[in-house]
Amino acid sequence: MERADPSSPEPVKHPVGAVPAGVDERLFVASVEKAMRVLRVFDGQHPWLSLTEIVAMTGLGRSATQRFVYTLHQLGYLRRDEVTRRYGLGTRLLELVKGMLGGHQLLDRCQPLLADLARSTGETVSWVELDGDEIVIIANIPSLHVSHVNLPVGSRFPALSSSSGQVLLWDADRERVAALLEQMDPASRRRLGPGGAKAVAERLASAQQAGYAMTEKTLDPHGVSLSAPVRDVSGRVVAAINISTLSSRHDATSARRTLLPLLLAASRAASV
């Protein structure tokens, strides 16, 4: 059975209709945001939705939703099951993914490293990048074990409470760490323990000195997540390589002893 990410709570769900703070309203095209809002309601829990369900989940009126759905369907970004009359994401979206990943030269060069790491550890291996206050799974090779950590590409998690996010925030100043902590939901904030922004900043500094970050999830499924940095030519951390495992195979001590040396070797090889 596949398990959820042990390093973070449930993937982040953005509020429907959320408009980025500080946008220039003279340039912001609200209709584009609404179209994206329609596309974003589809996920692993909701792969197929009726028009009524899309209306409810987007918060748009029925007439507006119908127009957006019709347009996206005609363009190939949505597909329609003629029997159930429900909609799902269309294959045309893969062109956008191809465009993004096709231009990601560092990831492309490191794909063999990720494959070797997954093969040698037998665990789930991911390439992770930072997007604001979240981490995003950009590439993933799942474990071959029946019971394993499931991290689909595109999954998002709060950065501060995940091992990859803690690596990617090594260069962040204390003001940014405090702001990210303030924005976190209470459940994610509790996972960081007491002490506030100062304690979190000290944890990041300690991880940076060690050269990796590790988090544990004590609720079922109990898991361990290890992350190490990928650096560009200037030495800046631009991505993290993550190994996620279940404590039934590796507790924290075993993960450090068995998985960490392989992870650190891969991160060194991946860095430019």
Question: How confident is the model over 211-249, as pLDDT tens digits?
Answer: 999 998 754 458 899 999 999 989 999 999 999 999 889
Evaluate whether the domain defined by 2-9+99-270 bears CATH number 3.30.450.40: yes
Kindly tell me if the per-residue pLDDT of 7 is higher than 50: no
For residues 142 and 265, what is the distance between their CA atoms, to the nearest angstrom? 20
Evaluate whether the domain defined by 30-96 bears CATH number 1.10.10.10: yes
- The answer to whether domain 2-9+99-270 and domain 30-96 are alike in fold is no
For residues 237 and 141, what is the distance between their CA atoms, to the nearest angstrom? 21
pLDDT digits (tens, 9 = 90+) for 130-151: 998 899 999 999 998 988 888 8
pLDDT digits (tens, 9 = 90+) for 137-190: 999 999 989 888 888 888 889 999 899 999 999 988 888 888 888 888 887 777
| Amino acid identity, position 202 | E
CB 214 within 8 A of CB 252: yes
Query: So where are the chain's domains?
Result: 2-9+99-270, 30-96
